Chains A and B, each alone.
Chain A
Amino acid sequence: MKFSTYLTQISGVSIYPIISLSMFVVFFVLMIFWMYRLPKKEIERIENLPFDDKK
């Protein structure tokens, strides 16, 4: 009777989690890829932004 069982009875419902899962996987992989391509110098500048207000 778990209430999610009523969800699982919707016809074709499995497409939703598959959409969500596959988009997540794609996104995650792309993101890791971008991250490694960020130039080191730029990273260094950005991560020091919180200290720019020091006189």
Chain B
Amino acid sequence: MNQEKFYYDNKIPRLFAIACIFWGTVGMLLGVIAAFQLAFPVLNFSEYMPYLTFGRLRPVHTNAVIFAFVGNGIFTAVYYAIPRLLKTPMWNRALSLIHFWGWQFIIVCAAVTLLMGYTTGKEYAELEWPIDILITIIWVVFGINMFGTIFTRRERHLYVAIWFFIASWVTVAMLHIVNSFEIPVSFMKSYSWYAGVQDALVQWWYGHNAVAFFLTTPYLGLMYYFLPKAADRPVYSYRLSIVHFWSLIFLYIWAGPHHLLYTALPDWAQSVGTAFSIMLILPSWGGMLNGLFTLRGAWDKVREDPVLKFFVVAVTCYGMSTFEGPMLSLKNVNAISHYSDWTVAHVHIGALGWNGFMTFGMMYWLIPKLFNAKLYSRKLASAHFWIGTLGILLYAIPMYWSAFRSYFMMKAFTPSGQLEYEFIDVVQTVVPFYVIRAVGGTIFLIGVFLMIYNLIKTAQSGDFVESEEASAAPLVKEYTAPKNSIWHSLIERKPLLLLVLSLIVVGIGGLVELIPTFLVKENIPTIASVKPYTPLELQGRDIYIREGCYNCHSQMIRPFRYEVTRYGEYSKAGEFVYDHPFQWGSKRTGPDLARIGKKYGDSWHFNHMLEPTSMAPGSIMPSYPSMYENTIDKVSTNSKIHAMRKMGVPYPDGYEAIANQDLEKQAMQITKGLKENKIEIASDKEIIALIAYLQRIGTDIKLEPKK
């Protein structure tokens, strides 16, 4: 058969690899800074500028690590592996370049806008609507390029890694679109289309699956390609990898509904469900074992080769996280882990161990290949391996410890039935753990610097191979599959079918979970006394969102004795019906704020926000002096009220035109009250709006007539 000559391009993978390492370093550095801020609040530098406070920095850190570091890592793998697996160059070089530069542009926009305070206030989906649109466009460009390549391939079979890439692409597209429904108020400001409980359900449907389809499945594709390459032997069981693939994409999308709606299941279904939930740990573990067993009989190689060392620990961490994950969904475990440092530890086992080490292993393998050189120093790479491992341990152990300590302190009662510890006592106890954690993160980062040095030296010692020549026969048009292989190889040889099938799979799974979510709105018992926010409070709430207070504070009191005693009556679904977006938060570095309204006087908040330690000695909350200088953005009131009413918040018709009069009136009242406490401040400052909002939170329900 006639062989066709073609070239594998290495320039695009090199670009993505550089971007991956660069943004990885930036993202981790921001993480280290944020970690130190929690121990030493002066590092928020909020006396000098508002941009670096924890509430703004942490989203930049999480977004950088997920979308910039891991994102560019995925693309490195895709642009290197797919052409080689399909024996064809990437379909369109211009699209590759648009994809690369577009993605980097998005990252820069994201970093700048998040630090400036433009945020939707929804975790891991903080970017504002213009950037959301940009992401959609670039994602489509990537998809066209990938499928173009697949359609022009010279290899009939799609290797399992490519399945993982395809499924990830489809699902991420779906998640991004559904969760980004928002109504623009102005350029760079929008409100989530959903409110309260519904917003939370959609958001965590997104959050859970984003972890699955951005951080996990594409990296499994990476594992199934690079691990065999590095070990120089095929994967242990290809059959197992097929099971791993299909059960995993089912598991993540489909496990959702039966977890969420578990109690609504009839008994027989519950039993089946339980059996399956347990079985579902198997695919992940099957995947882990598949990776580890690939190295069977080659452990002497592992001892020598840093690439394999990184892969072994990465795959082990994958196994640990996927075991821990289901545990965290158990009710009584969740009671401890939720809002605590446990979750933080859990995600970092995944991020540092699985994604981090997988990426490092790939880089140590790939860069020498791209530059046709030997790795500059194996010793240094081994040192990186040990330093990185130590970093992970020093990060995770203090977090687990602090989670348990604070849990026991939070729920401790004196014999007379009083809470034994104030919140600030707990804060004080965990600060040392935060220091160790920050040191752990720093050590991990030092390892990354060793890698950068090592890789630069490697690159310098070789010559960059711009492209590699290869040849293969084109696909023949008429092809009959061998007997017995009809089913799977049918899917496997037809990428469009695979795409459509995975879309159906995740689509139905998504719908099955989302339909009840959309029905829920009608099922939330309304509370007559819960009213929309006043214009001033709405402005204050937007300041709360802008400053990312939700990164440290929850607004959701659970019905446990130790929470109700500490924070007040537990939260009801009907209280959040006007919350676009919801602000329940996910981490309590500070106390819950769901009943903060009227707990203190206005002057307390005034002093506390200016200098938290003045009211709570030993506090690690940042100070917010800029709110005392900046004026409330009254121009936006009109369009904000308008947008809210469009989404069904019952402001009277035409209210937007007069809303600012009410805003000013309420602000005057607050400043008058402050004046009585000898505090002078102009009534158009942001702090006034924030105080108005804080004093409102969770108070409506108290107006409910007692039955």
Contact = CB atoms under 8 A, between A and B. Distances in A.
A22 to B, nearest CB: 8
Band of interface residues on B: 35 or more
B513 interface: yes
Contacts of A51: 228-229, 232, 234
Interface in A1-46: 1, 3-10, 13-14, 16-21, 23-25, 27-28, 31-32, 34-39, 41-43, 45-46
B489 to A, nearest CB: 7
A15 to B, nearest CB: 9
Contacts, number: 161
Interface in B148-178: 155, 157, 159-161
Q: Which of A9, A16, A42, A52 has the most CB of B within 10 A?
A: A16
A49 B242 CA distance: 15
Contacts of A17: 257-258, 261-262, 264-265, 269, 273, 512
A17 B273 CA distance: 9
A17 to B, nearest CB: 4
A47 to B, nearest CB: 4
Contacts of B8: 53
Contacts of B258: 17, 20-21
Interface residues of A, number: 42
B549 interface: no
A42 B489 contact: yes
A38 B489 contact: yes
A32 to B, nearest CB: 7
A11 to B, nearest CB: 9
Given A39-B485, A49-B159, A24 B264 contact: no
A17 B246 CA distance: 19
Contacts of B505: 27
B515 A38 contact: no
A25 B247 CA distance: 10
A20 to B, nearest CB: 5
Interface stretch (B380-388, B518-526, B675-683): B518-526
A52 B228 CA distance: 12
Contact of B261 (A13, A27, A36, A45): A13
- Specify the main secondary structure of chain A where it touches its partner: helix
A7 B264 contact: yes
B527 to A, nearest CB: 13
Interface stretch (B392-400, B424-432, B569-577, B698-706): B569-577
Contacts of B262: 4, 17
A52 B257 CA distance: 42
Contacts of B49: none
Nearest to B275: A25
Given A20-B512, A35-B243, A46-B157, A53 B470 contact: yes
Interface in B15-62: none
Nearest to B483: A39
B157 A45 contact: yes
Given A49-B159, A53-B84, A25 B272 contact: yes
A35 B229 CA distance: 24
B257 A38 contact: no
Contacts of B261: 4, 7-8, 13-14, 16-17
B239 A35 contact: yes
A34 B239 CA distance: 10
B266 interface: yes
A31 B516 contact: no
B305 to A, nearest CB: 17
Contacts of B707: none
Interface in B231-249: 232, 234-235, 238-239, 242-243, 246-247
Contacts of A34: 242, 487-488
A33 B175 CA distance: 31
Q: Which 3 A-B pairs have the closest CB atoms?
A: A8-B264, A47-B238, A47-B234
Interface of B: 8, 81, 84-85, 87, 155, 157, 159-161, 197, 200-201, 225, 228-229, 232, 234-235, 238-239, 242-243, 246-247, 250, 254, 257-258, 260-266, 269, 272-273, 276, 468, 470, 482-485, 487-489, 492, 505, 508-509, 512-513, 515-517, 519-520, 523-524, 558-559, 570-573
8 contacts: A6-B573, A21-B265, A35-B242, A35-B488, A38-B488, A42-B157, A50-B81, A52-B87
